[in-house]
Every structure is written in C-alpha cells, then in structure tokens.
Structure 1
Amino acid sequence: MTRYVAFLRAVNVGGRQVKMEALRALLEQAGLKNVKTYIQSGNVIFDSGAKGIALEPKIEQLLKKNLGFDVPTCIRSMAEIQAVLDNNPYPGVVPDKDLQIYIAFLQTHPGKEAAAVLETMQNDIETYRMHNREVYVLMKKNTGAPPFSNNYLEKKLGLVATTRNLATVSKMLTF
C-alpha cells in the first residue's frame, strides 16, 4: 500500500459544496483505505495498492457520477510530496503578509514549450518556476493586482492543474 494525496480542484468554491464526510465515504466505497480530508478545499489523504496516476480518472469518474460536476484530480504519493517540498525553488522565502508561495500540481507532464510560456508570465508580482509536474509561484501580496489564478495558469499552459499554498502542501506530510 502506498500513501497518497489527492488534490481535488474546485471543491467548495463557486456553489460546488461537498461535505467532507460524504467525500470520505465515497472514496472508501471505491476501495481506498484510511481516507482523511484536510480542510474543506479538497485535500484527501489515503492508502491504495494502485498507482496514483491510474487512480486520477477513477476518482474523477466517481465524483462526477455522485456529485454531478467535474472534479479534476491530481494525485501524488507522499514521497512525491516530499520531493515537491525539497525542490522548492524559493528555499529562503518564508511566506508572510507580503509574500506567498503556491504550488500548482499538473495532471500531466508539461511539454517543452511550457517553460517558455511561464517565462512570458513573469512580472514584478509573480515569479514562476517549473519542476516535473509542478509549477511553483512566488507572489507578492497586497499590491492591488489581481491574485494568482489557477484558471489563468491552466489556460496559458493548456493543462489541468490545481493549486495549494506551501503551508497546505507541507501539512500533507504530517496529516
């Protein structure tokens, strides 16, 4: 059995309300073990003998059937989560009231053109770095500019993504 984290996109936003007890029950009925949720934004920790990448479409189909809407899902093993944190390109930055670090989890490996696209997105407020299937975003807050948008990143890259802040991703290792 491998311990995984499923990051569910667009849960409990925009009228898509999902009770965490119901979500856990659905996933347990699908055969996942030791299912836990962290906060109300679609962070699910579980054990499975299946490969994480094979579980993504299975969980998406299950949730669409039972919730009535699409829930894009990005799964990483705990070892992959540790690697994501170890590869943080902003190691000396401590998020605070002025700075935030976001990690966008991509469902698929980005093509070679993704780095060039991210380069065009750089500005004085947001800095983007990519490693494997993750995009790290260092964002200045309280600038008056619109906040970082997962939708914008998805549109620019043409890939499914879901984003969490560094604190939430770090918490997955201890939950």
Structure 2
Amino acid sequence: MDDLKAYFGEVPGVENVVTYMLGGNVLFDAPLIDGATLVHTIETKLKQKLGYEVDIMLRLLSEMEEIVQNNPLTTIKTEEKNRLYVTFLSEVPAFDVRGSLGVYSNDAEYARVVNREVYIYSNNYGKTCFSNTFIEKKLGVKATTRNWATVNKMLEL
C-alpha cells in the first residue's frame, strides 16, 4: 500500500493521498482534474509502474455519500450490516440487464442495482453467487466489491 500511495502521489494534480486497508482503496484530492481524465491518467501510471493494467473505479466524495444514503437495503437490521456489500461498477449497466441479478436472489442473498453500484446482502459472501466475475458477466461492466463497513469508513477518512 505504501507503493500504491507513492504511485498516486506521482499523478499530476493529485494530492493528500491516503490508502485504506489492503484492497486498493485510495482516497485523494484532485480538484482541478475531471473524472475521465483522472481515471485515464491513474490507469496509465499504474500500468507503467506495475507492468499490467489496473481498472479504476473512481467515486467522488459526494457520490460516496449518496451511495450510503441511497442504500435500498435499509430494512437490514443493525446487527446484520456485516452482511451488506457494495459492488462498484465501471459504468451504469445497460437498462435491459439491470434486473438480471434478481433471478439469482433468494432469502440468503440478494442484490439490487442502483446507478453504478450493486448493493448485496449475503449470509456468506465468500460463497456468494454475486462475485465480481459473475456481476461483470451478467451486467457487462467491470466491478469491484467492498463491505459496508469499509464503504462507511472511507467516508470518515
């Protein structure tokens, strides 16, 4: 994570870089750069440094706040919040595939697509059918998942 923090620090216009946990969570300020340019610049820098392509799922602070506020799974009891996950998508999936995850939902796990996120409830995420690979295949976009505690912690940082 120290190397990742250093790589982001080398991106022009990026400042105040902070990493969180080992999952590639990077928080930073880049007030003068638009999102698409920033994603391209970071992906290029990481490919240069690491030797392989890395997909970036960029969210603004305001978007992260909306992700928490717009959680469609609000009926989950407080003691079950550790079963809640958010999958960040590279883009909004096509309209005709957004409901495709519902077919795989059941009492133990279910998923709801909202904009560029999938909210997942799972009794055992390690064995869920809603893996990143599955979601990418069904929705036709790239995906990465974080648990609800991580999503909220990143807002606090």
The normalised TM-score by structure 2 is 0.88
Distance 1:149 1:96 in 2: 23
1:87 Cα offset (Å): 0.5
Please give the root-mean-square deviation of Cα atoms over the aligned residues, in Å: 2.0
1:157 aligned partner, one-letter code: L
Q: Is the 8 A contact 1:63 1:71 kept in 2?
A: yes
Q: Unmatched 5+ residue regions in structure 2? A: none
- State which of 67, 74, 91 in structure 1 corresponds to 2:57: 74
Q: Please identify which structure carries the higher strand content.
A: 1
Q: Name the CA distance, whole Å, in 1 between partners of 2:124 and 2:79.
A: 9
Q: Structure 1 runs of 4+ off > 3 angstroms?
A: 94-99
Quick one: structure 1 residues 21 and 139, their matched pair in 2 at CA, closer, same or farther if it must change by over 3 Å? same
Rounded to whole Å, the distance in 2 between the matches of 1:91 and 1:97 is: 11
Q: Does the Cα contact within 8 Å between 2:82 and 2:147 map onto a contact in 1?
A: no
Q: Deviations over 1:121-175 (max 9, x none)?
A: 2233321111111110111229xx8234111111111111111011100011111
Is structure 2 residue 24 aligned with structure 1 residue 47? no
Cα deviation 1:46-92 (Å, max 9, x = unaligned): 00021223322221121112111221110111110000000111123
SS at match of 1:36: strand
CA 1:141–1:65 in 2, change beyond 3 Å: closer, same or farther? Answer: same
Partner of 1:111: 94
The equivalent residue for 1:170 is: 152
Distance 1:68 1:108, change over 3 A: same
Q: Distance in 2 between matches of 1:102 and 1:110?
A: 18
Between Structure 1 and Structure 2, which shows a larger proportion of helix residues? Answer: 2
- The percentage of aligned residue pairs carrying the same residue is 38
Change (3 A) 1:99 1:169: closer
Does the 8 A contact of 1:108 with 1:133 survive in 2?
A: yes
**Is the 8 Å Cα contact of residues 95 and 101 (structure 1) preserved in structure 2?**
no
Task: Evaluate the alpha carbon distance shift between residue 98 and residue 110 of structure 1 in structure 2; reply closer, same or farther with a 3 A threshold.
Answer: closer
Q: Which moved more, 1:103-112 or 1:90-99?
A: 90-99
Using the size of structure 1 for normalisation, the TM-score is 0.80
CA contact (8 A) 1:98 1:140 kept: no
The superposition leaves residues 1-58 of structure 1 with CA deviations (integer Å, 9 ceiling, x where unpaired) of xxxxxxxxxxxxxxxxxxx111111111112100000011100000002122332222
